[in-house]
Amino acid sequence: MTYQITKTFTFAAAHHLPQLPDGHKCRRVHGHNYAVTLTLEADDLDQLGMVRDYGDLDPVKRWLDGTFDHRDLNEEMPVPPTAEWLARLTFDMWAGKFPQLAEVTVSETPATTASYRP
């Protein structure tokens, strides 16, 4: 049996994907209201009956806001600023602090998501 919790954080940012073909709409500078969801899993609950206290995840929100909110992701990310890479970078940043972290999902729109799970 596995227990699972999720917490979603949001921020707004711009990016463009110059690696896409000429004429592709995402090649142009545009913005999104991103939603980043962390999924934490555990086989057993802690002494408080939780996978992890949601409040423990507050540093993730501060990091997302301080690093990406209202910025150009092309200037902030060392890789192409796709949702897939944002999910991977977020996972790699926080996996050491939260050993229960199992997956990070990034949504650029209500209809699109990209996830990273090692």
User: Taking all residues of the chain, what is their mean pLDDT, rounded to a whole number?
Assistant: 96
Question: Annotated catalytic, 108?
Answer: yes
**Sign of the torsion angle spanned by Cα atoms 88, 94, 95, 99:** negative
The confidence band for 5, taking pLDDT boundaries of 50, 70 and 90, is very high
Q: Please tell me the number of Cα atoms within 13 Å of 98 on its side-chain side.
A: 28
Three-class secondary structure of residue 99 per DSSP: coil
The answer to whether residue 26 scores a pLDDT higher than 90 is: no
The answer to whether residue 44 scores a pLDDT higher than 90 is: yes
Task: Tell me which of 26, 41, 76, 103 is the catalytic residue.
Answer: 26
The answer to whether residue 1 scores a pLDDT higher than 90 is: no
The confidence band for 79, taking pLDDT boundaries of 50, 70 and 90, is very high
57: tokens are: 């995840």
Q: How many other C-beta atoms are found inside a 10 Å radius of the C-beta of residue 26?
A: 14
Q: DSSP E strands: which ranges in 2-86?
A: 3-15, 30-42
The model's pTM: 0.94
Task: Tell me which of 16, 32, 75, 108 is the catalytic residue.
Answer: 108
The confidence band for 20, taking pLDDT boundaries of 50, 70 and 90, is confident
Task: Tell me which of 16, 24, 32, 70 is the catalytic residue.
Answer: 70
The mean pLDDT of 60-70, rounded to a whole number, is: 98
34 within 8 A of 107, measured Cβ to Cβ: yes
Domains of the chain: 3-116 (3.30.479.10)
58: tokens are: 């507050």
